[in-house]
Structure 1
Amino acid sequence: MKFNIVKLISLSVVAILITSCSTKLSDYEENNPKFDIKRYFAGELIAWGMVQDYTNQVTRRFCVELTGTWTGDQGELAEVFYFKDGEVSYRTWQLTKLENDEYTGTAADVVGIAHGKQSGFAFQWQYQLLVPVDENTYQFTMDDWMYQLDEHRVFNKTTMNKLGVKAAEITLFFDKAHPSKTCDLKEVV
């Protein structure tokens, strides 16, 4: 009996330590500037990114052209991805702003509805993404964290999980102030 109580207390302490160390969106509530998704993702902007596999090796590099339009609380974010290996892919998000700085979204390669919430200068976006690999399509759980650095720049880290295991990380840097709002294919391809 004494051993079970000690074991239970030890497991409780470990659980508390693990959950207290994890980042919560609310941790950023007091940080500025407040990330206004509708305002930032309106108009044309550009982003550069890379994909790293589970060993942290960079496996792909890319540039993205984005165009966002909003009518009230309904938005569309059209994305064109230019990968260094020559692939070009497209995704168009249909976005809805809800109460309490929450958002939902759908896209052709997203299973179900994406859910996101803004707090302070951060935004967390979670969804299931279908990714074609060779002749197969796999479903990944995406945990997307965006951080607004200033009025022009946003840093984005996304974890791709499959069956609860990290398969890859995607890092993006958005820039609204870049003089050219298009990807220079000579630099990307």
Structure 2
Amino acid sequence: MRTIKAKSIYLAGALLAGCSASIDDYQNNTPALHLDQFFNGRLEAYGMVQDFRGRVIRRFRADIHATWDGNQGVLDEQFFFDDGEHQQRCWKLTKDGNHYTGVAGDVIGTAEGVTRGNALNWHYTLAVTVNGKERHLQLNDWLYLIDEDNLLNRATMSKFGIPVGKITLSIHRLKTAEPKNLWSVCDLKH
């Protein structure tokens, strides 16, 4: 009985994934999202993490400092959670037309994504500590540019193809001086 239930849950998740939006659905949406333009300078974000039932289990604020040198970018993200935890994620991004790749210390392998119109969809595996054990979760991450200073980010986390949670955040670009060069600040471990 347990095997049938697990297979049913997996099949339902696979069917839902098959019905999801395609990046091509956003081809004609404006304003166009260019990561090297939006993620350049100082940004702030507010977000939440939900479990598989949709219950909010964590809230956070993030300070983001970003800089680009040609087609290479660095995003230094400092996360401050409501339970007092502080995390840093430092992305090293590479742009090739509308295709992006990225590495970070807690990302397993390489994140890969594509922009179309006002959206970016990318996929990666994130190492997350849950109850003292490291888990590898697959993220289907969507970014939507709302206007030149605001972006919404929604990510679905899954394990073995089964949704286990969601992350939602709103990112706002600040009108301040350009950040210092972050190339030597971030410890990328790659």
> Which TM-score band applies after superposition, normalised by the shorter structure?
0.7 to 0.9
Tell me the residue number matched to 1:51. 49
Q: Displacement of 1:161 after TM fit?
A: 0.3
The match for 2:60 is 62
Q: Tell me by how many angstroms 1:89 deviates.
A: 0.4
The corresponding residue for 2:91 is 93
Q: Please identify runs of 4+ aligned residues in structure 1 that moved more than 3 A.
A: 17-21
Deviations 1:82-135 (A, max 9, x none): 000000000000100013x00000001001110011000001121000001122
* Distance in 2 separating the partners of 1:165 and 1:21: 15
Which residue pairs with 1:132 in the alignment? 129
- Counterpart amino acid of residue 172 in structure 1: L
TM-score by length of 2: 0.82
Report the CA distance between 1:177 and its aligned residue.
Answer: 4.1
Q: Quote the residue 1:4 is aligned against.
A: none
1:37 to 32, 35, 38: 35
Matched AA of 1:166: P
Partner of 1:73: 71
Pair 65,18 (structure 1): closer, same or farther in 2 beyond 3 Å: closer
| Larger gyration radius, structure 1 or structure 2 | 1
Select which of 103, 106, 111 maps to 1:106: 103
How far does residue 22 in structure 1 lie from its aligned partner after superposition?
2.9
TM-score, scaled relative to structure 1? 0.82
Q: 1:44 to 1:148 in 2, by over 3 A?
A: same
What amino acid maps onto 1:80 in structure 2? Q
2:82 aligned to 72, 81, 84, which one?
84
State the aligned residue count. Answer: 162
Write the distance in 2 (CA, Å) between the matches of 1:42 and 1:109: 22
Cα RMSD over matched residues? 1.7
Residue 148 of structure 1 corresponds to 145
Conservation of the 8 A alpha-carbon contact between 1:42 and 1:67: yes
Residue deviations 1:19-74, cap 9 Å, x none? 98431000100010000110000110000000010010000000010010100001
Identify which of structures 1 and 2 has the higher relative contact order when contacts are C-alpha pairs closer than 8 Å and 6+ apart.
Answer: 2
127-136 or 52-61, which deviates more: 127-136
